[in-house]
Amino acid sequence: MNIYLIALLVYSIFLMALGIAMSRRVKNSSDFLVAGRSLGPGRLFATFLAANIGAGSTVGATGLGYRLGMSAWWWVGSACIGTFLLSQFVGPRLWTIAKQHNLATLQDYLEFRYNKAVKAVISVLFWFGALAILAGQIIAIARILNTIANIPKWEGCVIGGAVAIVYCTAGGLMSSSFVNMFELAVTLSGLLLAVPFALHAVGGWSHLHALVLANTARPEKAASLFSLTGAGSKQLLAWIAILVPSFIVSPGLVQKVYGARDVRSVRRGVSLNSLGQAIFAFVPPVLGLCAFAAMPHLSEAELALPAVMKNLLPPWLGVWTLASIFSAELSATDAILFMLSTSLAVDLYKTFLNPAVSQSRLLWASRIASVVAGVLGILLAIVLPSIIAAVQIFYGLIAVVLFVPVLAGLYSRRILSSAALSSIFAALAATIATIRLTHGSGLALLSPQAIGIATALLVTIAFRIFTPARNSTERASGS
């Protein structure tokens, strides 16, 4: 029998059982949505880092390392910069407002700061964008199952999605925060152990250089693969423009911030996550280079990580690494599924259909929404072909439509809902127009997403200058 498949089945059953067991602590919708605002620095760090090490930063980033070498560090490294800024500047302010006004989602904050129209627009855009990244996580799980057991993609999507649905639906953030602590230990130990063993399999760092040079047959190409800037300034700036803003204002991460016990927990827990991301960011490029050195003719770059696991590691570590990758994908899948379910239940159902819903009914609405979102994510995963493409859809959308309205609302009282809505639609229009007119390449060093964010900023500044100050009847949270 296939030892890899047996290990995954046992591990999946364990995670589902743990999630169901932890669901007993969930007494109301507050426990489900924000863990009763009880997360200390340790649990906040674990649930953040487990969510951030997903398909894009494992399978996807190793694929980037296979093609671009060490400069793939910036894929995860840009996210680490964003979460550090969240920990020190944006997160503490948002947590304080959420605590004072009993907010459960970032969209709740947008309603509080602006109005329901802003909340509705962001909720709808976010929901469809988040389905893409959920599909990306499920595709990664399917790739792993296909590599180790030759399971067809659609079956792998169903299996991975079903496991995440069970333990997320059971207990929400309360359950996920406990499961994430276990998943994080497995993920980090397996992937960090994989690096020295993979390097040993290709003959060490110096021999890795020689193999890469032999496979490229061009010294300048080999040198670029070992440079942190080898992908080129335009590519690196494009990643920074997408990922730094996204990880400052990601609705899923902000909701985890809401679950913190106090501001100190936000600062310490999320900054520790940032440090963990910065260190982990070296793992995918190194493993990608090892895969390129040993197997330079893979049919797809995103097969690099499963190929390393199967061909360069001893069987015992291959099983452990498999569990670690599976943990990473599941924890991120769970985090995104949680974002989708709370957005549907709280931001749309409660806000617009049933404002007087009871705590118990909202809890069940959240669980039903989790199942619905999970099923839709599975169906989309079966159709979409690429992990990185799916991830970029989500992060690009988040950066373009959310970054400026959230930060402007926190730091200026004079930004009205009209300015927020105008900046959102102007940013979307500018991004789409740039993609169409430049075939996605952007202008000079600016990616389409960077142009979209700049457009939102210019529109907001124009409103700030030419519109009157807020009147006394409008709510404000900034200064």
If one compares 362 and 388, the residue with the highest pLDDT of the two is 362
Exposure of 360 by Cβ count < 10 A (0-12 exposed, 13-18 middle, 19+ buried)?
A: exposed
Position 300 in a domain: yes
Spatial distance between the Cα atoms of 140 and 302, rounded to a whole number of angstroms? 9
Q: What domain range is 202 assigned to?
A: 3-399
Spatial distance between the Cα atoms of 330 and 342, rounded to a whole number of angstroms? 18
Rounded to 10 deg, the angle between the 283-294 and 304-311 helix axes is: 70
- Structure token digits, residue 367: 């669980």
pLDDT band, very low/low/confident/very high, at 32 (cuts 50, 70, 90): low
Spatial distance between the Cα atoms of 171 and 153, rounded to a whole number of angstroms? 28
When pLDDT is averaged across residues 296-320 and rounded to a whole number, the result is 88
Spatial distance between the Cα atoms of 75 and 296, rounded to a whole number of angstroms? 22
Res. 366: pLDDT tops 90? no
| H-state helical runs in 281-386 | 283-294, 304-311, 315-342, 359-383
Mean pLDDT is highest, among 124-128, 172-176, 228-232, for 228-232
- Confidence at residue 27, expressed as pLDDT on a 0 to 100 scale: 63
Spatial distance between the Cα atoms of 441 and 435, rounded to a whole number of angstroms? 7
- Confidence at residue 77, expressed as pLDDT on a 0 to 100 scale: 97
- Number of neighbours of residue 357 by Cβ within 10 angstroms: 17
Ramachandran sector of residue 159 (left: φ over 0; alpha: ψ -120 to 50; beta: rest): alpha
- Confidence at residue 252, expressed as pLDDT on a 0 to 100 scale: 82
- Number of neighbours of residue 379 by Cβ within 10 angstroms: 16
- Of 51-60, 186-195, 277-286, 298-307, which gets the smallest average pLDDT? 51-60
Spatial distance between the Cα atoms of 98 and 104, rounded to a whole number of angstroms? 7
Q: Are 291 and 305 in contact (CB under 8 A)?
A: yes
- Confidence at residue 31, expressed as pLDDT on a 0 to 100 scale: 58
Residue for token pair 């951030």: 52
pLDDT band, very low/low/confident/very high, at 479 (cuts 50, 70, 90): very low
> Half-sphere exposure of 311 toward its Cβ, with a 13 Å CA cutoff?
16
- Confidence at residue 471, expressed as pLDDT on a 0 to 100 scale: 42
Position 456 in a domain: no
Q: Are 281 and 236 in contact (CB under 8 A)?
A: no
pLDDT in tens, 324-356: 777 777 767 776 777 787 788 888 888 888 888
Spatial distance between the Cα atoms of 56 and 12, rounded to a whole number of angstroms? 21
- Confidence at residue 197, expressed as pLDDT on a 0 to 100 scale: 97
If one compares 23 and 442, the residue with the highest pLDDT of the two is 442
The identity of residue 86, as a single letter, is L
Q: Are 294 and 204 in contact (CB under 8 A)?
A: no
Res. 475: pLDDT tops 50? no
Spatial distance between the Cα atoms of 264 and 268, rounded to a whole number of angstroms? 6
The percent of residues above 70 in pLDDT, for the chain, comes to 89
- Of 27-36, 120-129, 208-217, 291-300, which gets the smallest average pLDDT? 27-36
Residue for token pair 């063993």: 197
- Confidence at residue 20, expressed as pLDDT on a 0 to 100 scale: 67
When pLDDT is averaged across residues 142-169 and rounded to a whole number, the result is 79
Exposure of 307 by Cβ count < 10 A (0-12 exposed, 13-18 middle, 19+ buried)?
A: buried
Q: Are 259 and 37 in contact (CB under 8 A)?
A: yes
Q: Are 71 and 228 in contact (CB under 8 A)?
A: yes
Position 194 in a domain: yes
CATH number at residue 357: 1.20.1730.10
Q: How many H helices and E strands in the chain?
A: 21, 0
Res. 477: pLDDT tops 70? no
Position 452 in a domain: no
Strand partners, 446: 443
- Confidence at residue 33, expressed as pLDDT on a 0 to 100 scale: 60
The whole-chain average pLDDT of the chain stands at: 86
pLDDT band, very low/low/confident/very high, at 168 (cuts 50, 70, 90): low
Res. 469: pLDDT tops 60? no
- Confidence at residue 476, expressed as pLDDT on a 0 to 100 scale: 43
Position 348 in a domain: yes
pLDDT band, very low/low/confident/very high, at 472 (cuts 50, 70, 90): very low
Q: How many domains does the chain have?
A: 1
Cα Dmax for the chain = 72
Residue for token pair 């970032």: 106
Res. 179: pLDDT tops 70? no
When pLDDT is averaged across residues 263-290 and rounded to a whole number, the result is 97
Position 477 in a domain: no
If one compares 290 and 445, the residue with the highest pLDDT of the two is 290
Nearest alpha carbon to residue 250 among 85, 363, 437: 85
When pLDDT is averaged across residues 259-284 and rounded to a whole number, the result is 96
- Of 4-18, 76-90, 100-114, 239-253, which gets the smallest average pLDDT? 4-18
pLDDT in tens, 193-202: 999 999 999 9
User: Residue 212, Cα to own-chain centre: how many angstroms?
Assistant: 31
Position 279 in a domain: yes
Ramachandran sector of residue 164 (left: φ over 0; alpha: ψ -120 to 50; beta: rest): alpha
Res. 10: pLDDT tops 90? no
Mean pLDDT is highest, among 270-284, 344-358, 373-387, for 270-284
Spatial distance between the Cα atoms of 244 and 79, rounded to a whole number of angstroms? 5
DSSP track, 113-156: HT-HHHHHHHHHHHHHHHHHHHHHHHHHHHHHHHHHH---HHHH
Residue for token pair 């152990």: 193
> Half-sphere exposure of 234 toward its Cβ, with a 13 Å CA cutoff?
9
- Structure token digits, residue 337: 């599924």
- Confidence at residue 133, expressed as pLDDT on a 0 to 100 scale: 82
Position 448 in a domain: no
When pLDDT is averaged across residues 72-100 and rounded to a whole number, the result is 97
If one compares 422 and 27, the residue with the highest pLDDT of the two is 422
Res. 473: pLDDT tops 50? no
Q: Are 57 and 78 in contact (CB under 8 A)?
A: no
Q: Are 246 and 395 in contact (CB under 8 A)?
A: yes
